[in-house]
Amino acid sequence: MQKITREQLIEKASALLSNSTVSCVLGWGMGEFDYDVTPTTFNSVEELEKGFVFSDFCGANFSKYLVKKAAACEGKILVFLKPCDTYSFNQLLTEHRFDREKVYVVGIPCEGMADINKVKAICGEGILSIGSKGDKMTVTTLYDDEPVSIDAKEVLAERCLNCKSKKHVAFDELLGDEGDVIESNRFDEVARLEAMTPDERFAFWQNELSRCIRCNACRDACPACTCEKCVFDNPNSGVENKSPANSFEEKLFHIIRAYHVAGRCTDCGECSRVCPQNIPLHLLNRKFIKDINEFYGEYQAGAEEGQRAPLVDYTTEDLEPGEVFDRRDSDA
């Protein structure tokens, strides 16, 4: 489904390595299967040729890696960023989390990434290979004699179905065609929950969050969660917590996680992508984004470097906390 090819990316990376613009490349490394791609640093053209892949399963947002890798790389590091990744990139720059001068950004177009869970929901377990051609994916499995052809749109990840932008907001160079900010329906699901009764909402989240195993994947993959030490890991914070002993602690962790990134979250969707329990964590973040948009005016974190996040800003005319509900009730 992707319009840009592995070969184009390798060619670009090789050129930048060869003319010493960059000394290493952050890209996608080949896995055991066609879908288990690992973020990998490549140091030479040979390594790229051997291990670099690009496919519909290259969803990982590389921005956060730059916090560690930009400093560790001797020269500049080349990073391939999809449009949504560039928002995180800007947000991290706004927060001074790495040195822009150490990074060379090649913006690449993205047609939306696939969700392997959706592929498996259609094709079942036992996937041997996944090929992609145009809008179709060809899946061979252990249990089907013939390869199964599926519509690539059908297996798009949730975040890509609700893609907010095909436009790169930060780059040194672009490959392929530049897109635009998109009118998405990403808040529909939040609105659906808002329309429920409190009891229904409570039941919904109780069910979702009860699956949480506190593996911290959501936090550790989140490009906004780059704290040197998370409050939940810090024995001196007073709220250190390693596992959810009960439903209160499940809620506490996820409320605070979302609150700490409120106004900073770019809605990249990594939290939900990596959740082993498929908890729709992005809905918590989106709730904050939707509220901020409605209360304080449209705000897209990471749209520009140096923006002031809404929760570290104010106007004298802001609405009162009590009016939050009056507003919504009158809307309803």
Q: Which of residues 106-145 bind other proteins (CB under 8 A)?
A: 117, 121, 124-128, 142-143
Q: Which helix or strand (DSSP H or E) is residue 197 part of?
A: none
| 259: contact with other proteins by CB under 8 A | yes
147 contacts 123 by C-beta, under 8 angstroms: no
Q: Which of residues 196-225 bind other proteins (CB under 8 A)?
A: 198-208, 211, 213-217, 219-221, 225
How many chain residues interact with other proteins (CB under 8 A)? 109
| 5: contact with other proteins by CB under 8 A | no
3-state helix, strand, coil in the chain (%, to 5): 40, 15, 45
CB of 230 to other proteins, least distance (A): 7
CB of 219 to other proteins, least distance (A): 7
| 321: contact with other proteins by CB under 8 A | yes
CB of 235 to other proteins, least distance (A): 8
240 contacts 234 by C-beta, under 8 angstroms: yes
Q: Which of 59, 85, 84, 267 is nearest to 156 (CA)?
A: 59
Count the Cβ atoms, other than its own, within 10 Å of residue 232: 20
| 50: contact with other proteins by CB under 8 A | no
Angstrom distance (rounded) from CA 69 to CA 162 = 30
Query: Considering only residues 71, 122, 161, 195, which one is a binding residue for other proteins as defined by CB under 8 A?
Result: 71
CB of 180 to other proteins, least distance (A): 29
| 305: contact with other proteins by CB under 8 A | no
Q: Which of 92, 35, 100 is nearest to 61 (CA)?
A: 92
Interface segment toward other proteins; rule CB under 8 A; list 3-11, 103-111, 163-171, 187-195: 187-195
| 82: contact with other proteins by CB under 8 A | no
209 contacts 257 by C-beta, under 8 angstroms: no
